[in-house]
Amino acid sequence: MDVSEMKNTVREFILAEFLPGESSANLKDDTPLRTSGVLDSMATLKLVSFVEDKFGIEVEAHEAGVENFDRISDIAALIASKKGA
């Protein structure tokens, strides 16, 4: 899976789970999610679990903060680095 597919997988999950009804065009790679309050800590936890299961990676608790989980592009970069892609 390349990075753009990773982004789309994460985007689809966020849209379905936390933003039902929003069009995928409006959820951009750099839309702030945590810092804007779109995802609170409970939602982030669900997202982290999804990412772990879907991509077969382990996200350490200290990696689940704003620096890696604020934007779809950051999340995809974390997944890619974990998978060595």
Q: What's the min distance (Å) between Cβ of 13 and other proteins? A: 12
Residue of 15, 3, 4, 2 lying closest to 50 (CA atoms): 15
Q: What's the min distance (Å) between Cβ of 2 and other proteins? A: 25
Residue of 44, 58, 52 lying closest to 14 (CA atoms): 44
Q: Which is nearer to other proteins, 17 or 67 (CB)?
A: 17
For other proteins, the binding residues (CB under 8 A) are 16-23, 26-27, 31, 36-38, 40-42, 45, 49, 61, 64-65
Amino acid at 54: K
